[in-house]
Amino acid sequence: MKQTDSIGGQEFLEMFAAATDWLEKSASDIDALNVFPVPDGDTGTNMLLTMRSTIEHGTQSTNHSASAVAQAMANGALMGARGNSGVILSQFWTGLAHGLGNKDVINGKDFASALEQASIIAYKGVSNPVEGTILTVLKDASKSALIKAANGHSEFISVMESAVNAANESVANTPTLLPVLREAGVVDSGGQGLYTILDGALRYLRGEAELMQFRKPQIIASSIPLTTITITSHDKLDGHEIPFGYCTEFLIKGKELDPDKLRKHLLKKGESLIVVGDDTMIRVHIHALDPGSVLSYVMEIGTIHKVSIRNMDEQHQDYLEMQKDRTTTTDTAIVAIVAGDGLGDVFASLGVSAIVSGGQTMNPSTKDILSGVERSSSDKVIILPNNKNIILTAQQVQSLTQKTVKVIPTTTVPQGVAALLAFDYDADFETNSKIMTESLKAVKSIEITRSVRSCKLNGLVIKKKQAIGLLDGDIVAVGDTPKEVLNDVLCKVGLDKAEIITMYYGADTGDAEAEECGNIIRNDHSHLQVEVVKGGQPHYNYIVSVE
C-alpha cells in the first residue's frame, strides 16, 4: 500500500488519471443506466470525455503543487464539459480546487474540506437541484469524509475510503429519493459515475494500479426492491392546458432594496422570473397568472415605474405569424446545435450564423460551442442547444467569452425552429431572448426512435428494438414500426386545434416511407398544413413539430 498520509500535485493528478481509466472501463454500462430507453443515454461517455479534458489540462500545469494542479484540472473540466453530467462534474472540480486553497501538499482533512466545497458549488450550479442524483452522492460522500477527518483521521487514504463507502451507499439509495429511477429499475447514472471516479482514485492509492487493468468497476444495485410507480404529467391542469398568463415587467425604486429577498418571494408567484438590480432600483420580469398579487407585494417595498402587463395567450400566435417572413438582424448572431445535414440546412435557412454538430449520443463540449460563438460576427449571441442534455454545457460558455451570450433552453429541434420563427429583427437583444423563450410553449415535439433495452415505463411494456414515441420528452407509445407509433402519438396530441405539422425524417428512414406518412396525416386531417423534410438526423426516425 502506498504511503498516503499526504500527497502532492503529481500524485493527485496520477490518482485521478487512474480513476479516468477506471471510468472508461464502465462508461458504456453507465450509459445503459439511462432512465428512458432512448439512444441518448450517454452519462458515462460525457463524464469520461470531461475527465479526459480534466487530466489533459492537469498535465500541462508547470506548478506541481496540489492546489495548482487541481486548478488546472478544474479549468480543463470546464472547457471539456459535455452534457448535464459533465457540467456538474466540472462544478465538482471547480469546488475541489477552491477548497484546496494554496496548498503544496494535502492530507485527508484538506481533501474532506475540499469535497465539502465541491458539493456546495455543484448544488449552486444547478438552478433546480434534485435529490437522488449525482448531487446527493457528492453531498453524502463529503459529509462522511468530514466526519472521518473530524475524528482525528487525517490520513488521505482513510478519508478517501470513507468517502467512497458513503458514495456507494448513496448511489444504491438514489431510487428511494427519485421515483423515476425506481420505476425504470436503475440507480442514478451520474451518481454511479462519480462513485466510479472516487473508487478508481482510492484503488490507485491502495497500490492496485496493476490489478485495475484486469478488473472492471462495479455497477451498484438498488438498495430497495424496485416497484412500478406511475409518473404523472404536469403539463395540464384539470384536463386543460395551463395558460401562459401575463408577461409582467416593471421597475422598483426605493432605498435598501434586496434583490435576493425579492427573488425568493416572487419565485412563488410565477415562472420565467428575472430580478436584476441593486439596493436603489430593481427590474423585474415574471410570467404570472395573477399579476395583481405581484404588484401588490412590491408596492410595499418601493415605488413602481414603467409597468407592462401583456396577455401572452392572445399575443403568442401573433408573434409567430409576424416573424415568419422576417430575417435576423446583423446585431445578433444565433448558434444552433444540430445533428443531420438536412436539419442543418433548415436552421441555416432560418438565419442561424453558426451550426455546431451534435445531439443524441454526441453532445458537443463547452469548447466546441465556444468556438461557434467566437466564429460569429456579432458580439451578441443567442445559443439554441436543441437538446436537454446540452443546455448546461451551453451555459458554461457565458463565462468564457467577452461576448454577450444568452442560452434559450430549447430541448428539441421543433423548439429550436419555433424560437427562430419568433425572432423579431426590430427588437433588441434582451427582448428577442424573452420572445424566443416564450415561443417554446407554442409547439409540441414528437420523437420516434427505437428502444435500446427492454423495460416497463409509464404503464408501457417495451421490448428492445421496438419503436417508441415520445411527446415533449415523455414516452407515450410503443409499437412494431415507426409509422404505427407516429400515428399513435399524433392521436394523443389532439390535432383539432393544430395548424401546421412539420415532419423531419432521419437517416434510417426512406423517402417513400416518409412521404407515405405525410400523406396519411393529410388524408386524416385535411385542415392541417403538412410539410415533410429530410432531416438526416441519426437514431431518430422522425422528429415532428406540431403547432
The string of pLDDT tens digits covering residues 180-199 is 888 777 899 999 999 999 99
Q: Is residue 318 part of a domain?
A: no
How confident is the model at residue 231, as a pLDDT?
28
Same domain assignment for residues 265 and 183: no
**Residue of higher predicted confidence among 308 and 39:** 308
Map grid coordinates 453531498 to a residue: 139
Same domain assignment for residues 351 and 480: no
Could you tell me the residue range of the domain that residue 413 belongs to?
324-442
**Residue of higher predicted confidence among 244 and 247:** 247
How confident is the model at residue 37, as a pLDDT?
59
User: Of 212, 230, 255, which residue is a domain's last?
Assistant: 212
User: Of 416, 442, 468, which residue is a domain's last?
Assistant: 442
Same domain assignment for residues 437 and 448: no
Confidence of residue 275 (pLDDT cuts 50, 70, 90): low
Instruction: With a cut of 90, say whether residue 360 has pLDDT above it.
Output: no
Q: Check residue 281 and give left, alpha or beta (phi > 0: left; psi -120 to 50: alpha).
A: beta
Average pLDDT over residues 207-221: 86
Instruction: With a cut of 70, say whether residue 320 has pLDDT above it.
Output: no
How confident is the model at residue 312, as a pLDDT?
61
Q: Is residue 539 part of a domain?
A: yes
Please, which residues have CB within 8 angstroms of residue 314's CB and are 6 or more apart in sequence?
none
Helical segments of 377-480, H only: 391-396, 413-421, 429-439
CATH number, domain with residue 495: 3.30.1180.10
**Residue of higher predicted confidence among 214 and 112:** 112
How confident is the model at residue 95, as a pLDDT?
93
Instruction: With a cut of 50, say whether residue 136 has pLDDT above it.
Output: yes
Q: Is residue 227 part of a domain?
A: no
Q: Is residue 186 part of a domain?
A: yes
Same domain assignment for residues 427 and 452: no
How confident is the model at residue 201, as a pLDDT?
96
Beta-strand pair 333-338/354-357:
parallel
Helix (H) or strand (E) holding 543: strand 542-546
CATH number, domain with residue 294: 3.30.70
d(CA 297, CA 89): 39
- pTM for the complete prediction? 0.69
How confident is the model at residue 516, as a pLDDT?
92
CATH number, domain with residue 348: 3.40.50.510
Q: Is residue 319 part of a domain?
A: no
How confident is the model at residue 235, as a pLDDT?
37
Q: Is residue 21 part of a domain?
A: yes
CATH number, domain with residue 79: 1.25.40.340
| Candidate from 11-25, 163-177, 245-259, 294-308 with smallest mean pLDDT | 245-259
Map grid coordinates 469548447 to a residue: 367
Same domain assignment for residues 55 and 144: yes
Of residues 71, 152, 63, 74, the one with CA closest to residue 107: 152
Same domain assignment for residues 202 and 282: no
d(CA 393, CA 80): 9
Q: Is residue 316 part of a domain?
A: no
**pLDDT > 70: what percent of the chain?**
88
How confident is the model at residue 315, as a pLDDT?
47
**Residue of higher predicted confidence among 279 and 136:** 136
Instruction: With a cut of 90, say whether residue 341 has pLDDT above it.
Output: no
Same domain assignment for residues 423 and 449: no
Number of folded domains that form the chain = 4
How confident is the model at residue 210, as a pLDDT?
86
Average pLDDT over residues 141-165: 92
Residue 347 amino acid letter: F
Q: Is residue 1 part of a domain?
A: no
Same domain assignment for residues 50 and 180: yes
Confidence of residue 310 (pLDDT cuts 50, 70, 90): low
Averaged pLDDT score across all residues of the chain: 85
Instruction: With a cut of 80, say whether residue 301 has pLDDT above it.
Output: yes
How confident is the model at residue 36, as a pLDDT?
59
Average pLDDT over residues 187-214: 92
**pLDDT > 90: what percent of the chain?**
53
How confident is the model at residue 232, as a pLDDT?
29
Same domain assignment for residues 29 and 147: yes
Same domain assignment for residues 67 and 146: yes
d(CA 58, CA 518): 53
| Candidate from 92-96, 231-235, 435-439 with smallest mean pLDDT | 231-235
Average pLDDT over residues 233-261: 64
How confident is the model at residue 435, as a pLDDT?
94
Same domain assignment for residues 115 and 204: yes
Cell of 323: 416573424
Beta-strand pair 500-505/529-534:
parallel
Cell of 57: 489540462
Same domain assignment for residues 165 and 100: yes
Measured from the Cβ of residue 231, the count of other Cβ atoms closer than 10 Å reads 15
User: Of 251, 274, 308, which residue is a domain's last?
Assistant: 308
| Candidate from 5-9, 45-49, 164-168, 424-428 with smallest mean pLDDT | 424-428
